[in-house]
Amino acid sequence: MKSEARAAVFVPHLGCPNDCVFCNQRAIAGVTSPATPEDVHLAAERVRSAGAQNAEIAFFGGSFTAIERGYMRSLLAAASEELKKGGFSGIRLSTRPDCVDDEVLDELKAAGVTVIELGAQSMRDAVLEKSGRGHTADDTRRASALIKAHGIRLGLQMMTGLPGDDDEGALYTANELVKLEPECVRIYPTVVLKNTALARMHERGEYVPQTVEEAVKLCMKLVRVFGAAGVKVIRLGLQRTESCESDVVAGAWHPAFGELVYGELKYEDMRRRFCESQPEKGGVYAVSCGKENVSVYVGQKRGNFLRLEAEFGIKMKTDLSGAYPEGSIRKL
């Protein structure tokens, strides 16, 4: 069992007073029933009985410390109980940068919270304002420092393609997030969901979403920024869910978005190496990779290999033998 196994509990913020333009939580009010402490126990039990080691109990939903305090404590207490039973390494949760203070962090730390992810989304105040986030870049800076000061590990989340943002803004955000020294980040290209303010802006022609191609190109640069700083990118693009599939009306949505980005990065890397050491025309070349990475080397619909074959007049294969270092290319 993989060490990153998680007992994941989704905590929708029904009745959230904020107005993030991309959010459809109001629309799902009454459709989604809030997670209960029992759900936490069930999720933990499922992961435990699957034999996971060092798993996390993870509360997703974006506003954990902004939900009603009694409800938050009931979920935390259930997670703490599960931690004590063993098999879990800690509790991960995500929240808003303006909903973090000493008091709540003391409480979270005592309950066993080990990682907090902040929804920074952008470090440009104008973008945050146009997106209705209700917090500033300085809130993210302040909350990040506070989380670290409490000995809790920091994760940060950013979005691309928000209203008023552009590639330069996203790169600025990435560089500002790096300065906060998170251990990990998630990058979410903006997706226009049904029944959101963003969908209405899009309908009125006031908002032009990124295309998948534009978002892929930009995210490649962002991945490089984080990679150079030693910050792990643990998610690229929204998780595929049934509601996602049916609620997306526009924007950079692709069920395997991360694979598109990593596939393009691999393509660029292989191409650069062939440019440097001109391959022999008609030659057959093998790239060594693990089974789980085949699709990013080969590309969607074999696109990476097809492009290399066309440009250099070669034949590409994968070598899954494990006899050579990952990513190395040799002539057969």
Give the footprint of ligand SF4 on this chain (CB under 6 A).
13, 16, 18, 20, 23, 25, 62-63, 96
In the complex with ligand SF4, which residue's Cβ is closer, 10 or 274? 10
What is the H or E stretch that residue 121 is in? strand 113-121
Supply the minimum distance, in Å, between the C-beta of residue 11 and ligand SF4: 10
In the complex with ligand SF4, which residue's Cβ is closer, 95 or 144? 95
Supply the minimum distance, in Å, between the C-beta of residue 136 and ligand SF4: 14
| Backbone torsion region of residue 313, taken as left when φ is above 0, otherwise alpha when ψ lies between -120 and 50, otherwise beta | left
In the complex with ligand SF4, which residue's Cβ is closer, 60 or 324? 60
Q: How far is CA 279 from CA 110, 139, 267, 296, in A?
A: 59, 52, 15, 21
In the complex with ligand SF4, which residue's Cβ is closer, 35 or 47? 35
In the complex with ligand SF4, which residue's Cβ is closer, 65 or 293? 65
Other Cβ atoms less than 10 A from the Cβ of 308: the count is: 22
- Distance in angstroms (rounded) separating the CA atoms of residues 161 and 197: 15
Supply the minimum distance, in Å, between the C-beta of residue 12 and ligand SF4: 7
Burial 131-162, CB ≥16 within 10 A → b, else e: bbbbbbbebbbbbbebbbebebbbbbbbbbbb
Ramachandran angles phi, psi of 248, nearest 5° = -75, 125
